[in-house]
Structure 1
């Protein structure tokens, strides 16, 4: 049995201190504080809510800045307190105090490792908000049910982090679940964080929809796009789109599914189709659908530019492989990422939004691939 000494703890705390200083430097804590002050001034303007879109952007960014600063300052305080606790434990020779230091070191290491992942998000669009689209794949009603489980998983993940979300479209399947859903995660770096979730997800379980209780394998696809900003210059001429209106389907109330408020926009040159039906107003749905269309066109443009640079054929799915994560509920319980080998034996916690370990492993995996590609 290895005995951990005070010198070992001191060395570990020194290493954690160096890592945290590097994170503070990369994330530029001073700049973040200045930005916080600017956002507070903007948020206190009496005419802020005259422009609701702008107001939501300001409040979202301020909430994010407050959270990031509190997180950094909290870790710095915990690290300083751990140093003091170690000195007291050494002076008093108290075994229980040493045990407390050990517990705190483990907690600090995990928290600092999680924060370090943020420094790996340096892509062109990584700092953007995210649009997430989920589609049921092969597997019939089980696949539709799985798509709804994934929607809840990501919304719960966002809720756990205090990130605002907005569901733009939910297309319900006939028997159960969803054919597709599109929603936004309105937090800085949501795209960079969630982009590693793109790909095909697989579920293996005893089907609750099979009266013979047979095991069923079903699939769902997840697509993550960066939200378009005004500087992106994604112009869509009116003569290139076809707009259809129809009555919303699925659960609703008041005027949501009693008027022709749902909107379907087809981009004629590319064949891209987007829908939005979750707002009461046809104009609101059209505006949301246009934002989703712009995001898809931006992603298409990015992929084409990347493919041109690499001399490769554009294949969004191929960059992740056909399957990126398996959720097995029978004959054993396990969720495993097929790229990173990250796994857990607690699928229920994963479906309840506890996916940070998978996301962090995915971000590190992607960075390693990027570095390997650069070296090659």
Structure 2
């Protein structure tokens, strides 16, 4: 670790500074985070949710019960995270001072390393405070579609589906796959799934756009390089307060048998449901539930989310946060290159990593963080 005159050095956000200066910077940033999070209000929310969770009648409505317990778990974790960071930071200042007084070089070095780790954790927590959009605190409904590239594009769409599901798994976020349309040879034509966690829509919304893959095609017998495209659409889950009214006459309902890869039947009854919104032409499908009724309910939620997005685009056209393919987001938002070199690069933020395998295994937090910061800076510049 590099040293600076008069003290031991630690690198924070790419800037070399002595320990005391670094500690002051991290402490100041954490104080700002605590102010934005409003810890007193957060504690009051936890107390209120704990009271609701202790009510025996809560589970009379399972959906409401699940929502309360999920919110309670998240807010408890949020409060615990920020209070633990504060305690660790306070302890670190004391430990570093003692180690320096005693001339314990090993402990001083350890304190510097701990400060660097704390800086990263505070930065991640700070990103959460940037999610202040109208729907940012909601669950996310994500649709992935293969685009140009034939069988490679279908395979690429399936790789993206795995990437997002692995990301959710890393964070212990529950997922629910509503529908997968398999391609004939390999991969998928499209998939729609929900991720359940507070602020997950705000987090994943920066993933919306076209994702580009460059690689040696595993489907080309001449091993030629292939460029494939897949589109990611991210929507907030609709809640009762949204008042999305869809008259029955505006919906066409088709039922069919669920199928697996290559058209293989996985259900002997017509339980899968396809809904078509006649006025707009929006089509959604669901086949993951066991009954036709359950699939219809799930498909209706996705349809409502899509129509909510369209409505908000029309009502607030100047905002690109929910807009599919808006000028601020652009069509191509990220490139994944596996050949002739290894790199994943966000075309908006310039954030890049040289380990595509880790990214495709769900390690996308760096891209999410840089995307959220970029969006906030873009909004501030345009306000």
TM-score normalised by the chain length of structure 2: 0.92
Find the counterpart in structure 1 of residue 216 from structure 2. Answer: 206
Distance, in Å, in 1 between the alignment partners of 2:184 and 2:110 is: 55
Q: Which of the residues 318, 321, 337 maps onto 2:330?
A: 321
Distance, in Å, in 2 between the alignment partners of 1:50 and 1:172 is: 38
Contact 2:184 2:261 (C-alpha < 8 Å) held by counterparts: no
- SS of residue paired to 1:249: coil
Alignment of 1:99-248 (within 5 A): 99-248=109-258
Find the counterpart in structure 2 of residue 349 from structure 1. Answer: 358
Aligned-residue offset at 1:47: 3.5
Matched, 1:9 2:9: no
Aligned-residue offset at 1:44: 3.1
Contact 2:233 2:324 (C-alpha < 8 Å) held by counterparts: no
Distance, in Å, in 2 between the alignment partners of 1:70 and 1:208 is: 47
Contact 1:60 1:164 (C-alpha < 8 Å) held by counterparts: no
Contact 1:256 1:278 (C-alpha < 8 Å) held by counterparts: no
Q: Which of the residues 283, 287, 293 maps onto 1:283?
A: 293
Aligned-residue offset at 1:97: 1.4
Contact 2:208 2:324 (C-alpha < 8 Å) held by counterparts: no
Q: Which deviates the most, 70-79 or 38-47? A: 38-47
- SS of residue paired to 1:324: strand
- SS of residue paired to 2:132: coil
Q: Which deviates the most, 267-276 or 80-89? A: 80-89
Q: Which of the residues 49, 53, 61 maps onto 2:59?
A: 49
Residues 92-150 of structure 1 show CA distances to partners (whole Å, capped at 9, x for unaligned) of: 01111111111011101111111111111111111111111111111111111111111
Matched, 1:364 2:365: no
Alignment: residue pair count: 369
Distance, in Å, in 2 between the alignment partners of 1:315 and 1:101 is: 45
Find the counterpart in structure 1 of residue 86 from structure 2. Answer: 76
Q: Which of the residues 22, 44, 49 maps onto 1:39?
A: 49
Distance, in Å, in 2 between the alignment partners of 1:205 and 1:75 is: 42
Residues 336-366 of structure 1 show CA distances to partners (whole Å, capped at 9, x for unaligned) of: 0000000000011101111000000001111
Aligned-residue offset at 1:368: 0.9
Contact 1:134 1:180 (C-alpha < 8 Å) held by counterparts: yes
Distance, in Å, in 2 between the alignment partners of 1:351 and 1:60 is: 28
Structure 2: 5+ residue stretches without partners? 9-16
Residues 185-239 of structure 1 show CA distances to partners (whole Å, capped at 9, x for unaligned) of: 1111111110000000001111111111111110000000011111111111111
Aligned-residue offset at 1:315: 6.4
Find the counterpart in structure 1 of residue 313 from structure 2. Answer: 303
Q: Which deviates the most, 191-200 or 207-216? A: 207-216
Q: Which of the residues 268, 273, 276 maps onto 1:258?
A: 268
Distance, in Å, in 1 between the alignment partners of 2:49 and 2:169 is: 22
Aligned-residue offset at 1:2: 4.2
Aligned-residue offset at 1:40: 2.4
Distance, in Å, in 2 between the alignment partners of 1:276 and 1:228 is: 16
- SS of residue paired to 1:47: helix
